[in-house]
Amino acid sequence: MYQYQIYGLNISSSRKINLLNETLGSRVDLTVIWNVSNRATPDNAFDWKPVSTELLDHLRDIEMWESANDEGIFTKVCFKLAEIENLNFVLDPKKETLYINHHESVAQSDIESHFVGPVLSFTMRLRGIICLHSSVVGVGGKAVAFLGHATAGKSTTAAGMAGAGAEILADDLAVLTSAENGFLVQSGYSKVRLRP
Protein backbone atom coordinates (compact mmCIF):
# COMPACT_ATOMS: atom_id res chain seq x y z
CA MET A 1 0.00 0.00 0.00
CA TYR A 2 1.12 3.55 -0.80
CA GLN A 3 0.49 6.47 1.55
CA TYR A 4 -0.27 10.07 0.67
CA GLN A 5 -1.54 13.24 2.30
CA ILE A 6 -3.72 15.72 0.44
CA TYR A 7 -6.36 18.21 1.61
CA GLY A 8 -5.71 17.17 5.23
CA LEU A 9 -6.57 13.51 4.51
CA ASN A 10 -4.14 10.64 5.06
CA ILE A 11 -4.73 8.26 2.17
CA SER A 12 -3.67 4.64 1.75
CA SER A 13 -3.79 3.46 -1.87
CA SER A 14 -3.45 0.01 -3.42
CA ARG A 15 -1.78 1.63 -6.45
CA LYS A 16 0.85 4.34 -6.83
CA ILE A 17 -0.67 7.77 -7.54
CA ASN A 18 1.78 9.57 -9.81
CA LEU A 19 0.29 13.03 -9.19
CA LEU A 20 1.08 12.86 -5.46
CA ASN A 21 4.25 12.51 -3.39
CA GLU A 22 4.37 9.57 -1.00
CA THR A 23 4.31 10.33 2.73
CA LEU A 24 4.34 8.29 5.90
CA GLY A 25 1.39 8.71 8.19
CA SER A 26 0.21 6.99 11.34
CA ARG A 27 -3.54 7.02 10.81
CA VAL A 28 -5.47 6.39 7.61
CA ASP A 29 -8.54 8.51 6.86
CA LEU A 30 -9.33 7.01 3.45
CA THR A 31 -8.35 3.69 1.86
CA VAL A 32 -8.41 3.68 -1.95
CA ILE A 33 -8.76 0.35 -3.75
CA TRP A 34 -8.09 0.37 -7.50
CA ASN A 35 -9.73 -2.16 -9.85
CA VAL A 36 -10.03 -2.63 -13.58
CA SER A 37 -13.47 -4.25 -13.21
CA ASN A 38 -16.28 -3.87 -10.71
CA ARG A 39 -16.31 -7.57 -9.79
CA ALA A 40 -14.07 -6.94 -6.78
CA THR A 41 -16.19 -4.12 -5.37
CA PRO A 42 -19.64 -3.79 -3.79
CA ASP A 43 -20.88 -2.31 -7.08
CA ASN A 44 -22.63 -5.38 -8.52
CA ALA A 45 -24.19 -6.52 -5.26
CA PHE A 46 -26.42 -3.48 -4.74
CA ASP A 47 -29.61 -2.02 -6.11
CA TRP A 48 -28.54 1.49 -7.15
CA LYS A 49 -30.96 4.43 -7.28
CA PRO A 50 -30.07 7.63 -9.17
CA VAL A 51 -29.46 10.85 -7.23
CA SER A 52 -30.99 13.91 -8.84
CA THR A 53 -29.91 17.47 -8.04
CA GLU A 54 -30.20 20.67 -10.04
CA LEU A 55 -26.47 20.59 -10.81
CA LEU A 56 -26.34 16.88 -11.71
CA ASP A 57 -29.37 17.26 -13.98
CA HIS A 58 -27.36 19.72 -16.13
CA LEU A 59 -24.26 17.52 -16.38
CA ARG A 60 -24.34 14.92 -19.13
CA ASP A 61 -21.10 13.11 -18.32
CA ILE A 62 -21.53 12.62 -14.53
CA GLU A 63 -24.07 10.47 -12.72
CA MET A 64 -24.48 9.90 -8.98
CA TRP A 65 -26.13 6.84 -7.43
CA GLU A 66 -26.94 5.63 -3.91
CA SER A 67 -27.67 2.19 -2.48
CA ALA A 68 -28.86 1.54 1.07
CA ASN A 69 -28.32 -1.72 2.92
CA ASP A 70 -27.69 -2.91 6.50
CA GLU A 71 -24.28 -1.17 6.56
CA GLY A 72 -25.69 2.21 5.51
CA ILE A 73 -25.70 4.21 2.28
CA PHE A 74 -23.10 3.51 -0.41
CA THR A 75 -22.51 6.30 -2.93
CA LYS A 76 -21.34 5.87 -6.53
CA VAL A 77 -20.19 8.56 -8.95
CA CYS A 78 -19.84 7.60 -12.61
CA PHE A 79 -17.90 9.67 -15.14
CA LYS A 80 -18.72 8.87 -18.76
CA LEU A 81 -15.45 9.49 -20.57
CA ALA A 82 -16.40 7.81 -23.87
CA GLU A 83 -18.98 5.36 -25.19
CA ILE A 84 -17.29 2.36 -23.54
CA GLU A 85 -14.99 4.13 -21.10
CA ASN A 86 -16.65 4.65 -17.74
CA LEU A 87 -14.87 5.63 -14.57
CA ASN A 88 -16.74 4.64 -11.39
CA PHE A 89 -15.98 5.61 -7.80
CA VAL A 90 -17.85 3.81 -4.99
CA LEU A 91 -17.67 5.17 -1.43
CA ASP A 92 -18.65 3.04 1.57
CA PRO A 93 -21.17 4.30 4.20
CA LYS A 94 -18.43 5.24 6.70
CA LYS A 95 -16.69 7.33 3.99
CA GLU A 96 -13.46 5.45 4.76
CA THR A 97 -13.06 3.18 1.70
CA LEU A 98 -13.18 4.32 -1.92
CA TYR A 99 -13.28 1.78 -4.77
CA ILE A 100 -12.11 2.96 -8.20
CA ASN A 101 -13.36 0.94 -11.18
CA HIS A 102 -12.44 1.73 -14.75
CA HIS A 103 -12.26 0.31 -18.24
CA GLU A 104 -8.74 -0.88 -19.05
CA SER A 105 -8.42 1.68 -21.84
CA VAL A 106 -8.80 4.69 -19.50
CA ALA A 107 -5.45 6.45 -19.06
CA GLN A 108 -3.95 6.46 -15.57
CA SER A 109 -3.48 10.23 -15.82
CA ASP A 110 -7.23 10.72 -16.46
CA ILE A 111 -8.13 8.55 -13.46
CA GLU A 112 -5.70 10.39 -11.17
CA SER A 113 -6.91 13.78 -12.37
CA HIS A 114 -10.51 12.87 -11.53
CA PHE A 115 -9.38 11.43 -8.18
CA VAL A 116 -7.47 14.51 -6.91
CA GLY A 117 -10.25 16.85 -8.11
CA PRO A 118 -13.96 16.03 -8.22
CA VAL A 119 -13.76 12.63 -6.49
CA LEU A 120 -11.93 13.83 -3.40
CA SER A 121 -14.26 16.84 -3.42
CA PHE A 122 -17.42 14.73 -3.27
CA THR A 123 -15.77 12.39 -0.72
CA MET A 124 -14.91 15.28 1.60
CA ARG A 125 -18.29 16.94 1.17
CA LEU A 126 -19.97 13.67 2.18
CA ARG A 127 -17.66 13.67 5.22
CA GLY A 128 -18.95 17.17 6.13
CA ILE A 129 -15.84 19.10 5.03
CA ILE A 130 -16.22 22.48 3.29
CA CYS A 131 -14.90 22.46 -0.30
CA LEU A 132 -14.83 25.18 -2.94
CA HIS A 133 -14.22 24.81 -6.68
CA SER A 134 -11.16 27.01 -6.59
CA SER A 135 -7.43 27.39 -7.20
CA VAL A 136 -5.47 28.76 -4.24
CA VAL A 137 -2.15 30.58 -3.97
CA GLY A 138 -0.19 31.77 -0.95
CA VAL A 139 0.71 35.47 -0.84
CA GLY A 140 2.33 37.05 2.20
CA GLY A 141 1.29 34.26 4.55
CA LYS A 142 -2.34 34.41 3.43
CA ALA A 143 -4.31 32.12 1.12
CA VAL A 144 -5.96 33.71 -1.90
CA ALA A 145 -8.63 31.62 -3.63
CA PHE A 146 -9.84 32.08 -7.22
CA LEU A 147 -13.40 30.83 -7.65
CA GLY A 148 -15.40 30.40 -10.83
CA HIS A 149 -17.12 28.04 -13.22
CA ALA A 150 -15.18 25.54 -15.31
CA THR A 151 -12.90 27.27 -17.85
CA ALA A 152 -13.25 30.63 -16.04
CA GLY A 153 -9.45 30.88 -15.66
CA LYS A 154 -8.85 29.80 -12.04
CA SER A 155 -5.79 27.65 -12.81
CA THR A 156 -4.52 30.13 -15.39
CA THR A 157 -4.71 32.95 -12.84
CA ALA A 158 -2.96 30.79 -10.20
CA ALA A 159 -0.21 29.94 -12.72
CA GLY A 160 0.22 33.65 -13.51
CA MET A 161 0.46 34.45 -9.80
CA ALA A 162 3.03 31.65 -9.35
CA GLY A 163 5.07 33.22 -12.14
CA ALA A 164 5.07 36.41 -10.09
CA GLY A 165 6.31 34.60 -6.95
CA ALA A 166 3.15 33.27 -5.26
CA GLU A 167 3.10 29.70 -3.93
CA ILE A 168 0.55 27.27 -5.41
CA LEU A 169 -1.41 25.78 -2.48
CA ALA A 170 -4.15 23.92 -4.37
CA ASP A 171 -5.53 23.63 -7.87
CA ASP A 172 -9.23 23.20 -8.63
CA LEU A 173 -10.24 22.51 -5.03
CA ALA A 174 -9.98 24.57 -1.85
CA VAL A 175 -10.63 22.55 1.32
CA LEU A 176 -11.46 24.76 4.30
CA THR A 177 -11.24 24.07 8.02
CA SER A 178 -12.47 26.56 10.59
CA ALA A 179 -9.99 28.33 12.86
CA GLU A 180 -10.25 30.96 15.60
CA ASN A 181 -10.04 33.96 13.28
CA GLY A 182 -11.57 32.53 10.10
CA PHE A 183 -10.63 29.57 7.92
CA LEU A 184 -7.50 27.67 6.99
CA VAL A 185 -6.93 26.19 3.53
CA GLN A 186 -5.61 22.62 3.53
CA SER A 187 -2.68 21.88 1.22
CA GLY A 188 -3.89 20.24 -1.93
CA TYR A 189 -2.57 19.32 -5.33
CA SER A 190 0.17 21.93 -5.61
CA LYS A 191 0.60 22.06 -9.38
CA VAL A 192 -1.76 23.65 -11.87
CA ARG A 193 -3.21 21.25 -14.43
CA LEU A 194 -3.41 23.34 -17.57
CA ARG A 195 -3.90 22.12 -21.12
CA PRO A 196 -2.38 24.04 -24.05
Reported as a single tens digit per residue, the pLDDT across 30-53 is: 999 998 666 666 766 788 898 887
- Say which residue, 45 or 14, is predicted with more confidence: 14
Q: What is the pLDDT of residue 28?
A: 94
> Does the pLDDT value for residue 179 go beyond 80?
yes
As beta bridge partners, residue 72 has: 69
pLDDT category of residue 59 using cuts at 50, 70 and 90: low
The bridge status of strand 167-170 relative to strand 30-35 is unpaired
* Mean pLDDT (whole number) for 3-21: 92
> Does the pLDDT value for residue 164 go beyond 90?
yes
**Average pLDDT of every residue of the chain:** 85
Give the contacts of 125 (CB within 8 A, at least 6 positions apart): 131
Q: What is the pLDDT of residue 82?
A: 67
Contact 172, 6 (CB under 8 A): no
> Does the pLDDT value for residue 87 go beyond 70?
yes
Percent of the chain with pLDDT over 70: 87
Residue of 62, 54, 58, 68 lying closest to 88 (CA atoms): 62
Percent of the chain with pLDDT over 90: 27
* Mean pLDDT (whole number) for 135-151: 88
Contact 157, 146 (CB under 8 A): yes
pLDDT category of residue 84 using cuts at 50, 70 and 90: low
Burial of 137 per CB tally in 10 Å (0-12, 13-18, 19+)? buried
* Mean pLDDT (whole number) for 145-166: 89
Q: What is the pLDDT of residue 98?
A: 94
8: left (phi over 0), alpha (psi -120 to 50) or beta: left
Q: What is the pLDDT of residue 55?
A: 66
* Mean pLDDT (whole number) for 60-81: 87
> Does the pLDDT value for residue 166 go beyond 70?
yes
